[in-house]
């Protein structure tokens, strides 16, 4: 044995047991008698065997590895979801692999076709795909976070996007604003659709019809937040209030207001969706719809680990967890009435 690498098969042969039994001992699983366990551990010590985690995983079909797949890692929202996932996974004895798809469907597909994608035990996923068939093709236990598509075949953890946008718009209306603009991105997923319809519903209830000129729809990026804010504020009849429908759009809006030498909370009112650092440190501080971002990762990881460790239930009903949001009011909205 001295001239070759010791394998799990060598240990099993020496102990007179199956490879699966050795694997159960290595992974601390039950269903192995004390005598057999002690015998195997003694042989492992005598043979100076160093377990190969991936080799063991091929036997028991478990790697104790999760993956959290996000569109990109620069956005503080995604890093908070990652943080919550990693925290729970570590406590449960799982290693977490973080994957960025760069908001590209092809890169997302590439991960699921890769060796790692096929060998993680489960996935926390903020997806980029717009087709439910793609999600249904994922055979690993998967929890979708934030973005959800009906008929996707997986459980999800989301927030109440509709109520958050409704409350933000309602706040403007309560302060006497009528020319209220919204800057958002695509409506492929539940988050974009629900935020727009929350805004729309609040306007409709107040007897106002949302005007097309005050709806700027592009990408969910700081660049579009900046560009559209400048367009709105330099238009012939600018809005008195802007609802920035995500954190980075809000960052772009703040920078545009600054570059136009306008005073937030005086010349223009602003509400953002989701906390961001710039919104916290400008004066006046920006009113935001706050969501339990890290908690989304925590709950997704807990649901995922439960799915991995429990016996699968036939035709179990899909579970969609909806977390609440809170409007944090600061000084960025001017009272007109």
Closest Cα to residue 134, out of 202, 189, 191? 189
Determine the Cα–Cα distance for residues 253 and 271; give it in Å rounded to an integer.
10
What per-residue confidence (pLDDT) applies to 246? 94
What per-residue confidence (pLDDT) applies to 179? 97
Are 226 and 201 spatial neighbours (Cβ–Cβ below 8 Å)? no
What per-residue confidence (pLDDT) applies to 118? 83
What per-residue confidence (pLDDT) applies to 96? 93
- Using DSSP's 3-state secondary structure scheme, residue 327 falls into strand
Residue 43 CB contacts under 8 Å (≥ 6 apart), including other chains = 11, 14, 15, 49
Q: How many CB atoms lie within 10 A of CB 168?
A: 28
What per-residue confidence (pLDDT) applies to 283? 86
- Using DSSP's 3-state secondary structure scheme, residue 268 falls into strand
Q: In terms of C-beta density within 10 A (0-12 exposed, 13-18 middle, 19 or more buried), how is residue 273 classed?
A: buried
Instruction: Check residue 56 and report its DSSP letter.
Output: H
Determine the Cα–Cα distance for residues 22 and 142; give it in Å rounded to an integer.
29
For residue 238, how many C-alpha atoms fall within 13 Å in the half-sphere facing its CB? 16
What per-residue confidence (pLDDT) applies to 275? 79
* Mean pLDDT in order along the chain per 10 residues (337 residues): 68 89 71 84 81 52 85 89 94 92 91 85 93 90 92 94 98 97 94 96 94 95 97 96 96 96 96 81 90 95 91 72 95 91
Q: Which two tokens stand for residue 196?
A: 């727009």
Are 122 and 142 spatial neighbours (Cβ–Cβ below 8 Å)? yes
Task: List, in order of start, the domains of the chain with CATH numbers.
Answer: 8-60 (1.10.260.40), 65-158+294-323 (3.40.50.2300), 161-291 (3.40.50.2300)
Q: In terms of C-beta density within 10 A (0-12 exposed, 13-18 middle, 19 or more buried), how is residue 274 classed?
A: buried
What per-residue confidence (pLDDT) applies to 317? 80
Query: Residues 184-218, buried b or exposed e (16+ Cβ, 10 A)?
Result: bbeeebbbbebbbbbbbbbbeeeebebeeebebbe
Tally the residues of the chain: 337
């Amino acid at each position: 044995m001295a001239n070759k690498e010791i394998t799990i098969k060598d240990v099993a042969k020496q102990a007179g047991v199956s490879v699966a039994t050795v694997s159960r001992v290595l992974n601390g699983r039950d269903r192995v008698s004390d005598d057999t366990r002690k015998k195997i551990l003694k042989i492992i010590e005598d043979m100076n065997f160093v377990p190969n985690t991936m080799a063991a995983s091929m036997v028991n079909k478990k790697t104790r590895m999760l993956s959290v797949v996000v569109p990109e890692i620069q956005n503080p929202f995604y890093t908070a979801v990652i943080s919550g996932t990693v925290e729970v996974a570590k406590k449960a004895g799982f290693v977490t692999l973080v994957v960025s798809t760069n908001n590209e469907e092809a890169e997302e597909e590439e991960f699921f076709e890769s060796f790692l994608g096929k060998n993680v035990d489960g996935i926390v996923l903020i997806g980029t795909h717009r087709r439910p068939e793609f999600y249904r093709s994922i055979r690993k236990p998967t929890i979708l976070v934030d973005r959800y598509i009906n008929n996707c075949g997986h459980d999800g953890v989301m927030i109440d996007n509709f109520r958050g946008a409704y409350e933000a718009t309602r706040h403007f209306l309560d302060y006497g604003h009528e020319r209220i603009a919204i800057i958002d991105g695509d409506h492929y997923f539940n988050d974009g659709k629900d935020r727009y319809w929350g805004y729309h519903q609040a306007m409709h209830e107040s007897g106002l019809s949302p005007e097309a000129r005050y709806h700027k729809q592009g990408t969910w990026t700081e660049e579009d937040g900046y560009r559209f804010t400048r367009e709105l504020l330099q238009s012939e009849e600018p809005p008195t209030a802007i609802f920035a429908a995500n954190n980075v759009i809000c960052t772009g809006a703040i920078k545009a207001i600054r570059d136009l030498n306008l005073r937030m909370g005086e010349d223009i009112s602003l509400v953002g969706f989701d906390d961001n650092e710039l919104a916290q440190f400008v004066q006046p501080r920006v009113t935001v719809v706050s969501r339990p971002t890290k908690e989304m990762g925590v709950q997704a990881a807990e649901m995922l680990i439960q799915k991995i460790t429990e016996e699968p239930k036939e035709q179990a009903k899909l579970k969609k967890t909806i977390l609440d949001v809170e409007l944090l009011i600061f000084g960025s909205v001017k009272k007109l009435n």
